[in-house]
Amino acid sequence: MNIVWYRRDLRVNDHLPLSTAAKYGEVLPLYIIEPSLWQGGIYSARHYAFVFESLEELSVRLAEMGGCLFVTIGEAENVFRKLEEAYGTIKVFFHKEKELSKSIRYHCLEKIGIPFQEAPSLNGEKATIQSKMKWIRVLEGESELAPPKLKLPERLPDWLSEPLGKFRNYHVPGDLIPLGQPGGERKAEETLQSFFKGRYMMYEGKEEGLLKASNYSSRLSPYLAWGNISAKTVVKKSLGELKEAKTEEARKAINSFLDSLYSRFLAYGNSLPQKNRQLTIEEKSWNRDEQERIQTGRTGIPIIDASVVSLTKTGWLPYSLRAVLATFLCNGLQLDKQLVKEFLGSLLQDYDPCILDRELELCASFSGKRITVYFHPVRAGKKLDSDGAFIKRYIPELASLPIKYVHEPWRYTGFYTLGYPVPMKDPDTIFKTIKLSAPAAENRPKKYPQSSPEIGEQLSMDLFDE
C-alpha cells in the first residue's frame, strides 16, 4: 500500500509525495494526530483548529480526485506498524522537512524497517544555493505539480474508517484565537490572490502604522507554515507578477516580498550565520510572577503588553513587533531561549520551528532582518507606534491617555487611577542590560546598508542611539 503521510503539507496542489505515490497504484493519504506532538508541547489549540480546518478541505479535495483522507490518533511508529500488519507491505511517501526528517527516519520508519520515500523539498535539498539570484533561477526551472488522479484502497482496516468529524473535538491544551486566519488550501489561494490584487503595493507600509500592518504584508505565513500552499507556488506567482509589473514601485515591492521568501528558504536550508555571536548573556528561567505578567500582557511596558495581547487575540504580529518582543525577552530579561520559543511558538498561528529558532538566534545575537530594532523598550514603542494607536487598541486602560504618556504611563500624574501595572523592570535598566550583553554589537557602526538580498538578512540600525 502506498501511504502519503501528511504533516505540514496540507494541500493537494504541487504535492510531490502525492503525485509520486499515485503512479504506483492505490493511495492511502493519511494524517496522524500524534499525542506526543499535540499534548503538552508548543502546539496548542489554535494550531489544531487551523490544522483541522485544513484537513476538512483536504478531505473534500482528495475526494474530488477520486481519493479519500484517512485520519487516526496514535504515535506514527505504532500506526505504521499496524498498517504493515494490515497490508503486508507498505511504502510511505512524505515531504522532507528539516526539523522533522531526522527523527522520522531514525526513530520511526528506518528503525522499524518500513520503506519510505522522502520528496526532496526545495527548502531542504537545495541548501547549497548560496544567493537569492541562484535560488530564483532554480525555482524558475521547476514546475508546479497538478493534483493527480487517485485510486482508493480496495481494503481498509476498521480502525482507519472513522469519519473526519470525530476528530474535531480532539482536545489540545491552550486557547483558540478569536480573530485568527482560517486554515485551508482555498484560503491560502485567496490570500495570495488578494495580495497581488493590490495589497502588495503597500508591502511593509511601515508609515501606515502597526494597526494596518496586517493588510500590507501578505499574511501567507500560516498557509506556508502548515503547507496549505507550497513556497514554490508563491515564488512562481511572484516572479510572474514581477515580469508583468509596470512601475518601478511595483517591482520594488515584489522584490522586497521575494527577499522575505528567500529568508524563509534560508531558515530551512542553512545554518545560522556565525557572526555577532560573542554574547555575555546567561540565560535564566522565569519566576511565577514574571511568567504570569509576561503571558498576560501585564509587564507594565505598553508596547510589550500590547504586542502580547494582540498576539494572543490574533495569532499574528508583524516582523517588527516579533523582533521587539523576542529582544525584550531574550536580551532584556535574559530568559532561556527555549522558554521564549515555547511562549511565542504556542501563540503564533504560523509557528514554524525552523523560522522561529533562526529568528530567536538572530534577535538574541542582535542581527535582525531588514528592520530597525530599537532595543530600548520605550523608544521601540515610540518609533513603531508613534501615534499610540496600537497600544490604545490593545490596552484599554491607556485608551484615553494623551499621546505623550501612552508609552510611559507611569509619568502621568493620575497613573495609579488607571489600573495599569508599574513596569516589572525599569525600562532604562533593561536597556542597560541589553547594552551590556552585546559588546560586539555596540562596537559596530551606527548605520547599516538598507538591503542585502544576497544574504537574505540585514543588520539592525540605531542599536543604542539615545
Shortest separation between residue 218's beta carbon and ligand FAD, angstroms: 3
Grid cell of 228 as nine digits: 496549505
Contact of 76 with 203, CB cutoff 8 Å: no
Instruction: Say which residues have a Cβ less than 8 Å from residue 25's Cβ, sequence separation at least 6.
Output: 2, 151
Q: Which is nearer to ligand FAD, 70 or 350 (CB)?
A: 350
What is the contact surface with ligand FAD in residues (CB under 6 A)?
217-221, 224-225, 260-261, 263-264, 267, 318-319, 322-323, 326, 348, 350-352, 355-356, 359-360, 363, 369
Q: Which is nearer to ligand FAD, 345 or 423 (CB)?
A: 345
Shortest separation between residue 85's beta carbon and ligand FAD, angstroms: 38
CA distances 365 to 6, 23, 269, 274, 453, Å, are: 35, 47, 20, 10, 20
Shortest separation between residue 344's beta carbon and ligand FAD, angstroms: 6
Shortest separation between residue 426's beta carbon and ligand FAD, angstroms: 24
Q: Which is nearer to ligand FAD, 4 or 254 (CB)?
A: 254
Rg (CA), the chain: 23
Q: Which is nearer to ligand FAD, 233 or 260 (CB)?
A: 260
Closest to 33 (Cα-Cα) out of 225, 177, 169, 167: 167
Beta bridge partners of 93: 4, 117
- Our CA dihedral for 122, 127, 133, 136, rounded to 10 degrees, sits at 0
Shortest separation between residue 250's beta carbon and ligand FAD, angstroms: 16
Shortest separation between residue 367's beta carbon and ligand FAD, angstroms: 11
Q: Which is nearer to ligand FAD, 139 or 363 (CB)?
A: 363
Q: Which is nearer to ligand FAD, 351 or 420 (CB)?
A: 351
Q: Strand order in 116-119's β-sheet?
A: 70-73, 27-33, 2-6, 91-95, 116-119
Q: What is the enclosing helix (H) or strand (E) of 27? A: strand 27-33
Q: Which residue's C-alpha cell is 518609533? A: 383
Q: Which is nearer to ligand FAD, 46 or 369 (CB)?
A: 369
Shortest separation between residue 268's beta carbon and ligand FAD, angstroms: 8
Shortest separation between residue 196's beta carbon and ligand FAD, angstroms: 12
Q: Give just the sign of the alpha carbon dihedral 437, 442, 443, 447.
A: positive
Contact of 116 with 126, CB cutoff 8 Å: no
Q: Which is nearer to ligand FAD, 359 or 385 (CB)?
A: 359
Sequence length of the chain is: 466
Grid cell of 216 as nine digits: 500590507
